Amino acid sequence: MTDYKKMSVYQIYPKSFQDSNGDGIGDINGIISRLPYIAELGVEYIWLTPIYISPGNDNGYDIADYYNIDPVYGTTDDFKNLLHETHKRGLKVMMDIVVNHTSTEHIWFKESSKSEDNPYRNFYIWKKNEGKLPNNWVSKFGGPVWTLDERTDSYYLHLYDVTQADLNWEYEPMRQEIYKMMRHWLDLGIDGFRLDVINLLSKDQNFPYDTLNTFTDDGRKYYTDGPKIHDYLKEMNKEVFSRYNNVITVGEMSSTSLEACIEYTKPESKELSMIFSFHHLKTDYKNKDKWELQKPDIMELKEYFTKWQNGMEKESGWSALFWCNHDQPRIVSRMGNETEYRYESAAMLATLLHMMQGTPYIYQGEEIGMLNAHFDKITDYEDVESLNAYKNMINAGKSEEEALKILRERSRDNSRTPVQWDNTENSGFSTGKPWIKMGKMADRINVEEDLKNEKSVFSYYKKLINMRKEYDIIRDGNFTILDADSEDTFIYTRETEREVLYVICNLTDKTLEIDKKITDSAAGGKCLITNTDIPCEKGMLKPYETSVWLLKK
């Protein structure tokens, strides 16, 4: 049985992972060819972002057919082969599933939109046209959440893109169809689900207007962690997860709270194994707006980790630990140093996160320190959210140069450039033209280079992953921050009755002096990992230095 509290997960965005047939798009057979590499890293699970049939308006998160693999990625037989090859190597597979909405190309929506008495009408959320929008909620991608369908003169709800219609979770026949579909994939042999924006399923059925006073008064309070969400997840667990052995589930939580996430994940709730929360990745959002830049607020970051680490541990909740995914910029570009200290900052940021309580998720390319895309033209971008944001920024009076600068830091395409495998053409990703431009410094930052070098980001991640399996204190220890007032360092302990783990991180490119009491205490133990030759030398931290020390009591 896999102990998800000691394991690590590797996230694959198939479109950008490895192309096997030269069409410029990553595919299932490409993933199979790279399984030995993933196994070498030491993770237990791989998570695949959606590979179902989809028009691709939101890169697969707009599902048109829950039961079939999109031909661009391969066939069901290819997928069965992937499961076989993965399991053969002792790895397990987690599929991404989107059950808040479907594509408007889905047969359910096509039927639902035909007439008001269609059997599928109640699978979605419809409001009769009364001459104005049903309310003033704002879509996650900008604009209203309602679109008029003239066939029945009714509006349908879409919290995301206009082509992503929200399912009506109030309607039990729809819920049962979802559970049946999920059981289909578990019967095929998958080992878990990552559940996209799962805390948005339950909407306030009065659909009230919001104030729009601030950026977050956009309707989200009426559908986030909604009134029946725990009922739905308990039902999903009973109808699906509990019927299979050892299924791991992780729920992506949008604009959530600690209290809700404890409830989702504490064992007695019987809902989810763990959650993704994003608060720590919003500390560089000026005025909580993704499209307004500021440096990461380190004090806010520390407050978040302290609150969530202590809160989840105290109430037996469980979190996913992550810096990167297919929606986030690359962490070295965001909080580290892209040039002189790329290795040091990548290792430090990984240490800071991996020594906390939770299950680490490593996003493809993170383990070699890949960087943001640094595209310089709007035509380089593919992401629907980025293209919409660019239009909105231009309409709001920003110059093209200002808007592009923001996209270079914030666009989801920063993490969607193909994995850099070697320094051949297209970095070994494809023999054809990649679906999106290649990223920055692919000739120097690639898997082949990292595997050659003993001192590499890859080898550092591998050590961190193995440490979690070896030392129970990483799973069980309570969390105490030691430098709450410092914006330059992040130093904390994990502690059990018998041991103390010191985690020391320099967040800057400066040499820093640290509290002698901390270095004296840490130096009394064994150094488990560091990114420098002599850690904490003379009570000083070199730029982006990190080290972890284990002391027996």
Q: How far is CA 18 from CA 14, 69, 94, in A?
A: 7, 17, 18
- Residue whose structure tokens are 């057979």: 29
Give the tens place of pLDDT for each residue, 242-276: 999 999 999 999 999 999 999 999 999 999 999 99
Give the Cα separation of 423 and 446 in Å (integer): 7
Count of all residues that appear for the chain in the document: 553
Q: Which residue has the tokens 């103390």?
A: 500
Q: In three state form, how does the secondary structure of 214-264 look? A: CCCCCCHHHCCCCCCHHHHHHHHHHHCHHHCCCCEEEEECCCCCHHHHHHH
Q: How confident is the model at residue 1 (pLDDT cuts 50, 70, 90)?
A: low
Classify strands 248-252 and 192-195 as parallel, antiparallel or unpaired: parallel
Q: What is the pLDDT of residue 523?
A: 85
What's the CA gap between 253 and 263, in Å, rounded? 12
Beta carbons of 492 and 503 less than 8 angstroms apart: yes
**With contact defined as beta carbons under 8 Å apart, do 189 and 86 qualify?**
no
Residues 6+ apart with CB under 8 A from 454: none
How high is the pLDDT of residue 66? 99
Q: Quick one: average pLDDT of 59-70?
A: 97
Kindly give the pairing relationship between strand 92-97 and strand 192-195. parallel
Distance between CA atoms of 131 and 535, rounded to whole angstroms? Answer: 68
pLDDT of residue 215: 83
Give the residue numbers annotated as catalytic, written as ranges: 196, 252
Question: Which DSSP helix (H) or strand (E) runs through 157?
Answer: strand 154-157
Encoded tokens for 7:
């394991």
Q: For residue 490, what are the CA distances in angstroms to 310, 344, 508?
A: 16, 15, 10
pLDDT band at 2 (very low <50, low <70, confident <90, very high): low
Which residues on adjacent β-strands are paired with residue 96? 194
Say if strands 126-128 and 154-157 run parallel, antiparallel, or are unpaired: antiparallel
Phi and psi, residue 201, nearest 5°: -65, -35
pLDDT tens digit sequence for 86-106? 999 999 999 999 999 999 999
Average pLDDT over residues 12-38: 99
CB atoms closer than 10 angstroms to residue 297: 16
Instruction: Report how far apart, in Å, the C-alpha atoms of 397 and of each of 216, 291, 401, 430, 544 are.
Output: 22, 13, 12, 39, 38
Average of per-residue pLDDT across 433-451: 93
Say yes or no to pLDDT of 384 above 90: no
Tokens encoding 149: 């369908």
Q: CA–CA distance from 117 to each of 120, 123, 154, 165 (Å)?
A: 8, 12, 13, 18
Instruction: List pLDDT tens digits, range 407-417.
Output: 999 999 999 99
Residue type, 192: G
Other CB atoms within 10 Å distance of the CB of residue 71: 9
CA dihedral 470, 527, 330, 199 (to 10 degrees): 50
Q: What is the DSSP string of 80-116?
A: HHHHHHHHHTT-EEEEEE--SEEETTSHHHHHHTT-T
Contact between 456 and 450 (Cβ < 8 Å):
yes
| Residue keyed to tokens 């992506």 | 252
**Burial (CB count <10 Å: 0-12, 13-18, 19+), residue 419:** buried
pLDDT at 142 over 90: no
Give the DSSP letter of residue 35.
H
> Is pLDDT above 60 for 240?
yes
The answer to whether 437 and 27 have CB atoms below 8 angstroms apart is no
Residue 359 has pLDDT above 60, yes or no: yes
Measured distance CA(542)–CA(78) in Å, rounded = 48
Nearest to 110 by CA among 169, 128, 119: 119
Alpha helix (H) ranges present in 316-417? 331-335, 342-354, 384-395, 400-410
Residue 179 scores a pLDDT above 90 = yes
Label residue 76 by pLDDT band (50, 70, 90): very high
User: Does the pLDDT at position 226 exceed 70?
Assistant: yes
Alpha carbons 251 and 317: distance in angstroms, whole number: 13
Please count the other Cβ atoms lying within 10 Å of the Cβ belonging to residue 51: 26
Contact 100, 224 (CB under 8 A): no
**Looking at the predicted structure, is the pLDDT value of residue 288 above 90?**
no
pTM above 0.85, yes or no: yes
Structural domains of the chain, with CATH: 9-100+172-375+414-464 (3.20.20.80), 107-166 (3.90.400.10), 376-410 (no CATH), 475-552 (2.60.40.1180)
Both tokens of 546, joined, read: 């990190």
Residue 282 CA: distances (Å) to CA of 198, 240, 279, 292, 481 = 19, 33, 5, 11, 20
- Relative orientation angle of helices 229-239 and 172-188, to the nearest 10 degrees: 40
Computed from CA positions of residues 178, 189, 230, 212, in that sequence, does the dihedral angle turn out positive or negative? negative
Report the pLDDT value the prediction gives residue 440, as an integer from 0 to 100.
79
What is the average pLDDT across 323-337? 98
Inform me whether the pLDDT recorded for 111 exceeds 90: yes
User: What is d(CA 333, CA 338) in angstroms, rounded to the nearest whole number?
Assistant: 6
How many Å apart are CA 457 and CA 346, to the nearest integer? Answer: 7
441 pLDDT band, cuts 50/70/90, is: confident
Work out the average pLDDT over 21-25: 98
Beta bridge partners of 126: 156
Strand 154-157 to strand 274-276: parallel, antiparallel, or no bridges (unpaired)?
unpaired
What's the pLDDT at 443? 85
- Check if the beta carbon of residue 436 is closer than 8 Å to that of residue 426: no
